[in-house]
Amino acid sequence: MPIRVTVWGENVHEQKHQLVRDIYPDGMHACIAAALNRDPGIKARTATLQEPEHGLTEQVLDETDVLTWWGHAAHGQVEDAIAARVHDRVLKGMGLIVLHSGHHSKVFKRVMGHNADLRWREAGEKERIWVASPGHPIAAGIDGYFELPHEEMYGEPFGVPEPMETVFISWFQGGEVFRSGLTYRRGAGKVFYFRPGHETYPTYHNATVQQVLRNAVKWANPDQRYGWGCPHVKAETALEPLVEHGGSVH
Ligand code: ZN
C-alpha cells in the first residue's frame, strides 16, 4: 500500500501574483504533490484553502497518512474547527509536515503550543542547509549539506519547543542561522517542520528539497493509530486483584 499524502496549499499567492505563477503554473501544492508522486511508494493528492472545509473533510483525513501544509497570506482564513480537526488527527497518528511560512499557521501553533515566531528578511540570499543529524532518514542522500542560491532568510530565535531531533541547520549569507529541519512527536503522530519554500523562488523544484520531502513523508508515515479517550476502568476489571481503600466523590 503506498503512503497516502494530502498536500495542502493555501493557493493565494499563485492566484494573485504572476511572479509566483511563472514558477508554479499549477500552484505550489501541485509541484509538491508531483515531486512526492515520483516515488511509487507515495500517492499524493492536493487540497486547498478555497475548497469546502479547505479540502480537509473527515473523509479526506480518513484517507490521509501524512498531511503537508504550506500557508502564508491567509492563515487567519483557516477555520478554527479545521485546525482543531487536523490537530486531533495528528494526536491519533497522522503524520504532519509543515513547510516554510506554515510556521505561523493555526495548525502548527496549536501542535507546537507556542508562537512559532522568528526573524525574517526577503533579500534573495544564499541558504546553506547543513545536516545536523547524520544518518537520520529525513536527510538520506544528502552529503553533509546542500545549498539554495536564493531564499528568504529565517533567523533564530525560533519560538518552538525543543525538538525531538534537529535534522537540519541553515546558514544564511547575511549571517543568521536557523534550525530548519525539526522533528516532534505529538500523541501518536510524527511532525516535521522544514524551513525552505518561499513562494518567489523555485525551491520546490530543487531536486534535494524534493528528496527531503519524500524522505520526510516516509518518516512521518504512522506506525499505528490510537483513538484516545478517558475510559473509566472498573476495579473488577483490574488485571490484579484490588482491595479498594478510601472514598470516592464520583
Ligand atoms: Zn516566505
| Segment 174-197, tens digit of pLDDT | 999 999 999 999 999 999 999 999
Helical packing angle, 28-37 and 207-220, nearest 10°: 70
CA of 101 to the centre of ligand 1 (A): 5
- The three cell numbers locating residue 67: 498531511
β-strands 165-172, 42-48 pairing: unpaired
pLDDT of residue 104: 98
SS3 content of the chain, % helix, strand, coil (to 5): 30, 30, 40
225 Cα to the center of ligand 1, angstroms: 33
pLDDT at residue 243 tops 90 = no
Distance between Cα 95 and ligand 1 center (Å): 23
CB 170 within 8 A of CB 177: yes
Contacts of 177 (CB under 8 A, 6+ apart): 155, 156, 169, 170, 171
Q: Is the pLDDT of residue 36 over 90?
A: yes
Average pLDDT of every residue of the chain = 97
Query: Distance from the CA of 148 to the center of ligand 1, in angstroms?
Result: 14
Q: For residue 43, is pLDDT > 90? A: yes
Q: Domains in the chain and their CATH numbers?
A: 3-116+178-237 (3.40.50.880)
pLDDT digits (tens, 9 = 90+) for 127-166: 999 999 999 999 999 999 999 999 999 999 999 999 999 9
What is the pTM (predicted TM-score) of this model? Answer: 0.96
